[in-house]
Amino acid sequence: MTPLSIACVVDEPMPTRDTLTVQVVQTLSALVRAGAAVDLYLPVPPTGPRKTPDALREAMRAHYQADCGFEVRLLPGLVPGGRGAQKFAQAALAARPSLGGHYDLLYSRIVLPMLAALTVNRPVLFETYRPLTRQYPLTRLPFRAVARHPAFLGLVTHSEYTRTAFVEDGLPPEKVRTLYNGYDAGAFQTRFTPAEARAALGLPERPTFMYAGRIAPLKRIELLLDAAEALPEVQLVLVGGNDTAEAAPYVARARALPNVSLIGYVTGGKLAQALQAADVLVIPPSAAPLEQFGNTVLPIKVFEYLAAGRAIITGEVADTAELLLQGENAERIKPDDVGALVDALRRLFADDAYREGLGTRARARAAELTWDARAGRLLDWMRTRLAAR
């Protein structure tokens, strides 16, 4: 079978700590392992030293702990300016490779390259985690029009929650497909007991709950800190960048609590080890990231948490309900209620058999949720949609 030739365009430099870029790099790396030929078109920063494509790829390998077997193609530099203007200009530059005819398809999460490719009848596969037609109702008619274009292969969503929104808002069901994200199976090859992982990380040996991700107001980190204050006999570990302005108030409060530890930003095997130091992994149980901010829908941490094989606490919100099931692999609790979080932690720490059973079933659920498994499904769907065209 002839390998598919894929152009992927992004509108911001890499590497960064943005989870979106983790998803892009892991997906493209897995597509190459599955046999595709992939070129990543990457804008270079408007200021600072310029790196060669090979140097950038090495920097991405080190940062994301991924093999990055794709080719890196640099887009022209930009003049300094506001972030909004820069992102628009970067997207415009990223549209240029989509006009070339030597790729089987353009695969992107930004709109402008997609529109540019459609104007010259180049096949396009668009991907998004957001239910854009719900968040921005004025986009419903444009998305319906795009979906009717013969070169529009389809839209990949990261959840049924988002797929349902697009279909209910008028996109053809056969052109919208949910492909869950994944985790790096190689990072979890070494298994640790909680005690072993805590010892390796220099953490105290005591019941531990953990959050891994962005430390910011929109993630409702205060719920975790409030729970830690209410449970002085256990420890909270925060894994994520703690050197940003948005993290500063939470970091200051965490450092004032004797039972809270900060690990910082880690990836790959170090992240896998850190997650296994927990007895319980927590997605801050809040409806705000999904319903108020709209920037978190079935986050990648769900897949990493499942792979770690630990009990998970999450709020009763629609997106995580697709994979995190009450009493099966998770405790689902009332959102935005510190008392409910404290009660759930007490229940799990008091019942070793139940807690460990949740973890065992979480790890079993993760078996088919690797990046490589996703890449295989994605390539199959690309071929199916190309054939349908």
Q: How far apart, in whole angstroms, are the C-alpha atoms of residue 260 and residue 258?
A: 6
Q: What tokens does 262 get?
A: 């900060």
DSSP 8-class letter at 292: I
- 3-state SS class at 143: helix
**CB count in 10 Å sphere of residue 2:** 7
Structure confidence by residue, pLDDT tens digits, 218-252: 899 999 999 999 999 999 999 999 999 999 999 99
Query: What distance in Å separates the CA atoms of residue 356 and residue 368, rounded to the nearest whole number?
Result: 21
Beta bridge partners of 42: 74
In this predicted structure, what is the pLDDT of residue 308? 98
Cα distance between residue 124 and residue 85, in whole Å? 25
State the residue for tokens 């990055």.
Answer: 68
List strand residue ranges (DSSP E) for 196-310, in order. Answer: 208-212, 235-239, 260-264, 280-282
Mean pLDDT in order along the chain per 10 residues (389 residues):
90 88 97 97 76 94 96 74 63 62 89 87 94 95 96 97 97 97 97 98 97 94 98 98 95 97 96 98 88 75 98 95 98 97 98 98 97 98 95
Domain made up of 185-366: CATH architecture:
3-Layer(aba) Sandwich (3.40)
- pTM for the whole structure: 0.94
Specify the DSSP element, H or E, that contains 343.
helix 338-350
- Looking at the chain, the domain(s) classified CATH 3.40.50.2000 span 5-182+370-388, 185-366
Determine the CATH number of domain 5-182+370-388: 3.40.50.2000
